[in-house]
């Protein structure tokens, strides 16, 4: 006869195997749901100012301030396995040395499908600066709204919901007072 411990071990092994199979089925079913969210992103203005960096009070560096208008309907990304969305606006440009940069200037976390319709006139939340200290002679930047779908079970999914139609140039600098 089997002992109580052997029977508990068999039942718990069966339950954990069934749970893992269920989680694998949930993760694989996430690939069946494909959504194509639509949005529009327009840059209203870009201003470049000269200011001090935080670390070095004597070092001058150019800072860019971007005002943008964002409209997007991301509700098709929500299904029964979506925990939350991470949205972010990036600026992609190539500096004078030929290095391609992608800078996150704004982000938001969306936890409910009801909050997935976004209409905002925003400004960059994070410092947008060029490591070479100057945006002078830098080619225009492309701006895009990207998302990251975080599921309850499964792999993270990345995508792009909106992009500016034309590259936006960096203007001449202004002095901060």
> How many C-alpha atoms does 105 have within 13 Å on its Cβ side?
27
Q: Distance of alpha carbon 38 from its chain centroid, rounded? A: 15
Element (H, E) at 120: strand 117-123
Token pair 């992009």: residue:
163
Residue 1: the pLDDT is 62
pLDDT number for residue 28: 78
pLDDT of residue 12: 92
Distances (CA, A) of 4 to 8, 10, 52: 6, 10, 72
Amino acid 135: pLDDT: 80
Token pair belonging to 160: 């792009």
- Report pLDDT for 58: 67
Tokens of 120: 């905002």
So what's the pLDDT on residue 27? 74
CB atoms within 10 A of CB 158: 10
Structure tokens at 134: 């100057």
Q: Which two tokens stand for residue 17?
A: 């195997």
Q: How far apart are CA 103 and CA 120, in angstroms?
A: 20
pLDDT by 10s per residue, the chain, length 177: 678 998 899 999 999 999 888 888 877 777 777 778 889 999 988 888 887 766 666 677 888 889 999 999 999 999 888 999 999 999 999 888 888 989 999 999 999 999 999 999 989 898 888 877 778 778 888 999 999 999 988 888 899 999 998 888 888 766 543
Taking a C-beta distance cutoff of 8 angstroms, is the pair 90, 114 a contact?
no
């Amino acid at each position: 006869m089997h002992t109580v411990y052997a029977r508990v071990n068999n039942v718990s092994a069966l339950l954990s195997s069934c749970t893992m199979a269920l989680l694998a089925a949930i993760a694989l079913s996430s690939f069946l749901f494909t959504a194509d969210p639509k949005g529009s992103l327009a840059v209203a203005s870009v201003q470049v100012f000269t200011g001090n960096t935080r670390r070095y009070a004597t070092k001058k560096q150019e800072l860019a301030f971007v005002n943008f208008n964002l409209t997007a309907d991301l509700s098709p990304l929500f299904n029964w396995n979506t925990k939350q969305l991470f949205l972010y606006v990036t600026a992609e440009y190539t500096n004078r040395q030929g290095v391609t940069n992608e800078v996150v200037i704004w982000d938001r976390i969306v936890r409910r499908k009801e909050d997935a319709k976004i209409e905002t006139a925003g400004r960059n939340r994070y410092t947008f600066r060029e490591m070479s200290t100057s945006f002078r002679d830098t080619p225009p930047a492309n701006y895009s709204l990207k998302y990251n779908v975080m599921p309850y079970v499964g792999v993270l999914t990345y995508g792009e919901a909106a992009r500016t139609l034309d590259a936006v140039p960096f203007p001449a600098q202004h002095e901060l007072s």
